[in-house]
Each structure stands twice: as structure tokens, then as C-alpha cells.
Amino acid sequence: MSNPHVEFIEVDGINLRVATQKGLRRAGNGNGLPLLLFNGIGANLELCFPFMEAMPEKEIIIFDVPGVGRSEMSWRPRRFSGLARLADRLLTRLGYQQVDVIGVSWGGALAQQFARQYPKRCRRLILAATSPGAVMVPGKPSVLSKMVTPKRYLSPNYMQNAAAEIYGGETRRNPKVLSAHTSRIIAPQFMGYIYQLLAGVGWTSIHWLHRIRQPTLVMAGSEDPLVPPVNARIMGLLIPNNRLFIVPGGGHLFMLYSIDKVVPVVRGFLDSEVPLAA
């Protein structure tokens, strides 16, 4: 399969780096709506290519937020509401009316905000390795302290040494899986990373998760030290129309390292024609 098409698109005066995978047409399969993917903090779009390649039938859109990957730096920080607005305007530029949305880790908070802010844009919602924000059950302090700076993106050696503690799961059992991961990293700008941190300061969805009406798939790794799976269970209790899937043996990066377990669940959720129980 060819790599996703990567281009720069100006939105709100910022050149965003955008990747689109058109999806393979199959007989009898309409492939559903395009899938908009919100990435984790500091993570450039290439890091999600393995997941995208595992779903070749899906049309997928992903972009580097300002100051991350090769997107231009914004002159001011944006809250999650501002980043959701940026995504909305990008979809308009690309000609999409409605999408399914998946958010990973930090991107899961942005996905929640997008679903609430633009309910008609978002048909279904997938939340992976994420939480309700400031009101959450936190990971270990020693793990959280390593997320304050983008050092893991700047130093491959640091990533190799710290990954097992930060991400857990697959990286503890097989540190070699990080080799391909680090080869795809484009280090974020320092202020771009800080702006991402600032986007979530004080933000929480805990008081309005019960108002989300999109069918939602909540996924968590059973061995995630950064966002303990109890957060997924709490979100599952609050979101009215949801399915919960705990990835056996999954760490924080289960979307990349447990693809064989994750993709069938995601595909089944997106392709299901039977509405989830309210």
C-alpha cells in the first residue's frame, strides 16, 4: 500500500501538515465515513501510519497540530476548544461534512471536545488511552514527570531507556518495538509542546460526558502506567451510548503495538449498522 498523501493546508493563517489516506474500495463495502484522527501530545502524524496502514479500506485524515511535526507554530496557544475549531475549519477546507473521530491520549481529550462542540460533524467517537482530563485517576508521579518536557522525542536514547516506564505494556516485554517508532519521530518545537500542555490545563469533560450522544468506543490498555484503565471504566459509566474494550496486555501505545487486537474492534465498531443501546 502507498503512503498517505501529505500536504500543507493553510487554516486560520497557519500552514498545517495534513495526511490523508483515501481508502481502498471493496465490493459491497461503502467504507463508511472518513475517520479523523487526533494524535497524542508531541506526536507527529507519521507515528500513526502503522494504524492507518492496518485499515487500508478506511479514508483517514490526520494533521500535525501547530508547532508539532512540521506544522507551523501558532503565535498564540489554543485551548482544546480552539483546536477543535481549527479541525472543523480544516474539514471544511477538505470538503468533508461529517466524519467519525478517534482520539489517542492527549488527542482523546481533543476528540471529546470536538464531539461536544461539533456534534453534527461527528457521527461516532473512539477514545483510546485517554481520560476526562484534569479530573482523572492519574498515573504514577514518576511517569507523569517525564511527560512535562518533549525529551523523549528529542533523544532516541532517552526514549529507549524511559519508554518501558512511561508506556508500559508491550514496551516492557519487547523494547525492540521502539526502533521503528523512534525512526518515525519528528521532534516537536519546544513551545509547540508547551502549548499542547497548556491546552489541557484545568480542562475536564467529567461534567458533560453524560451529554455525549455519539456512539462511543472507549479503549484502554490493561497495563497503561500513564493513563490507568480505571479512567476508561469511569468514562464508560458516564457516556450514555458506549462500548468499553480493555486491551489485554496493552500499554499506553496499544494503538501502535497491539494493532492485531485493536483494529478488528475499531473496524467492527465503525462498520456496525445496528445502533448501540442507549
Domain ranges of the chain: 5-271
Strand partners for 148: none
Q: Which CATH superfamily is domain 5-271 in?
A: Alpha/Beta hydrolase fold, catalytic domain (3.40.50.1820)
Q: Give the integer Cα–Cα distance in Å for 270 and 45.
A: 21
- Cα maximum dimension of the chain: 50
Q: Name the pLDDT band for 163 (thresholds 50, 70, 90).
A: confident
pLDDT digits (tens, 9 = 90+) for 117-130: 999 999 999 999 99
Q: Which of 71, 74, 105, 131 is catalytic?
A: 105
pLDDT for 180 equals 79
* pLDDT tens-digit map of 1-26: 568 999 999 999 999 999 999 987 55
Q: What is d(CA 61, CA 189) in angstroms, rounded to the nearest whole number?
A: 22
Q: Does the active-site annotation cover 105?
A: yes
pTM: 0.94
The answer to whether 127 and 217 are in contact (CB under 8 A) is yes
